Amino acid sequence: MKLTIYLAGQIHDDWREDVKEKANKRELPLEFVGPQTNHERSDNVGEDIIGKQPGNYYKDDAASAINNLRTQVLMQKADLVIALFGEKYKQWNTAMDVSTALALNKPTIIIRPESLIHPLKELSNKANVTVETIDQALDVIAYIYE
């Protein structure tokens, strides 16, 4: 049984590659999808496609419309969502993706460092499982196949 997993979360480092490699080593039959991880492309995609906008607000709105469409298409394909929160950045998108996933009845795992226990407590309580490392998240998924 193959599962498709949406990897929500910040796009400032290559944690998604780490997930994929580790899943590969465990030989789990998983397909991963997720947001655009080229940060500059993600920020500029509105102007790249629709053309120059009259200011930052409009540039951001044009980009986010396309990023939201991408997320909606791919999350609807997913059987499960992993969301990683790091210590930097506000990451409201990650919180948005977790909440949307839960409302769509998608099983969801949060990965967050110990330092974020308090600010993430309500979201963590709503998610199915909260862990601290990528390895633990993959342990949970591997458990489905045991």
Decide whether 8 or 15 has the Cβ nearer to a copy of itself: 8
Contact status, residue 23 vs residue 45, Cβ threshold 8 Å: no
Considering only 6-14, 15-23, 96-104, which stretch makes contact with a copy of itself by CB under 8 A?
A: 96-104
Decide whether 15 or 71 has the Cβ nearer to a copy of itself: 71
Considering only 8-16, 19-27, 74-82, which stretch makes contact with a copy of itself by CB under 8 A?
A: 74-82
Decide whether 24 or 89 has the Cβ nearer to a copy of itself: 89
Strands (E), the chain: 3-9, 30-33, 80-84, 108-111, 129-131
55 binds a copy of itself (CB under 8 A): yes
2 burial type by CB count under 10 A (0-12 exposed, 13-18 middle, 19+ buried):
exposed
In which residue are the tokens 């102007």 written? 47
Instruction: Give the nearest distance from C-beta 37 to a copy of itself in angstroms.
Output: 9
Instruction: Give the nearest distance from C-beta 51 to a copy of itself in angstroms.
Output: 9
User: How many residues of this chain bind a copy of itself (CB under 8 A)?
Assistant: 71
Angle at 121 between CA 20 and CA 28, to 5 degrees: 20
Q: Out of 36, 44, 47, 86, which residue is the one contacting a copy of itself (CB under 8 A)? A: 36
Structure tokens given for 93: 């998108």
